[in-house]
Amino acid sequence: MRRGQHGLVHPLSALAPALRRWFTARLGAADQVVLDGPQRITVGHSRAMLAVRVGLPEGSREYVLRVEQGGVFGTESLKEVRLMRALRAAGLPVAPVRWYERDPSVVGAPFFVMDRIRGRGENPQLGSIRELVRLLQRQHELDWRSAGLGFLDPPATPRAATLGQIDRWESIYREARFLPVPLLDEAAAWLRRHAPPPRRIALVHGDPGPGNYIYEGDRIQAITDWEFAHLGDPDEDWVYMATIRGAAMSREEWQTLFKTEAGVEISDRAWRFWDVFNQFKGACANLTALRLFSDGVNQAPNMVAVGTSIQLLLQSRMAELIGQDREGEEGNGT
Partner 1 sequence: MTRERHPTQAELLEAAVRTLEDVLIPELQTPWARTTAMGLLGQLRYAVARTSTDSLATQDDELEACLEALVGEFPGLRELLATAALRGDRSWDLREQASRLLVHALDGEDAARAAIRSRLRPLLAAHVQQDLGETGPMLQAFLASGSLGSTG
316 belongs to the binding site for partner 1 (CB under 8 A): yes
Distances from the Cα of 155 to the Cα of 111, 163, 200, 238, angstroms: 28, 10, 11, 20
Which of 257/289 has CB closer to partner 1?
A: 289
Which residue of 101, 207, 233, 275 would you call a contact of partner 1, by CB under 8 A? 207
> End-to-end distance of the chain based on CA atoms, in angstroms?
62
d(C-alpha 309, C-alpha 314), whole Å? 9
Q: Binding to partner 1 by residue 170, rule CB under 8 A?
A: no
162 vs 286, beta carbon nearer partner 1: 286
Do the Cβ atoms of 64 and 41 come closer than 8 Å?
Answer: yes
Peptide linkage before 57 cis (omega within 30 of 0): no
Cβ neighbours of 281 (radius 10 Å):
29
Question: Quick one: which segment of 17-25, 100-108, 160-168, 307-315 binds partner 1 (CB under 8 A)?
Answer: 307-315
CA distance 68 to 298: 11
Interactions with partner 1, residue window 56-115 (CB under 8 A) = 72-73
Residue 292 CB, nearest approach to partner 1 (Å): 12
Instruction: Please tell me whether residue 333 binds partner 1 under the rule CB under 8 A.
Output: no
User: Which of 127, 180, 197, 296 is the binder for partner 1 (CB under 8 A)?
Assistant: 180
Residues 243 and 251: beta-carbon distance below 8 Å: yes
Q: How many residues of this chain bind partner 1 (CB under 8 A)?
A: 51
Rg of the chain in Å (alpha carbons): 21
Residue of 20, 98, 174, 245 interacting with partner 1 (CB under 8 A): 245
Residue 24 beta carbon to partner 1: minimum distance, rounded to whole angstroms = 26
Binders in 120-149 for partner 1, by CB under 8 A:
122
Q: Burial level of 266, CB count in 10 A (0-12/13-18/19+)?
A: buried
Across the beta sheet with 111-115, the strand order is 34-40, 47-56, 59-68, 111-115, 97-101
- 3-state DSSP call for residue 231? strand
Residues 128 and 213: beta-carbon distance below 8 Å? yes
Pick from 46, 128, 137, 162: which binds partner 1 (CB under 8 A)? 46
- Residue 244 touches partner 1, criterion: CB under 8 A: yes
304 counts as binding partner 1 under rule CB under 8 A: yes
Site string for partner 1, 4-33 (x = CB under 8 A): ------------------------------
Judged by CB under 8 A, which stretch of 76-84, 124-132, 205-213, 264-272 contacts partner 1? 205-213
Member of 24, 137, 165, 286 binding partner 1 (CB under 8 A): 286
Which residues are CB-neighbours of 321 under 8 A, at least 6 positions away?
A: 272, 275, 276, 279
Binding site for partner 1 (CB under 8 A): 39-46, 72-73, 122, 179-183, 185-186, 189-190, 193, 207, 209, 211-212, 225, 228, 244-245, 281-282, 285-286, 300-302, 304-306, 308-310, 312-316, 319-320, 323, 326
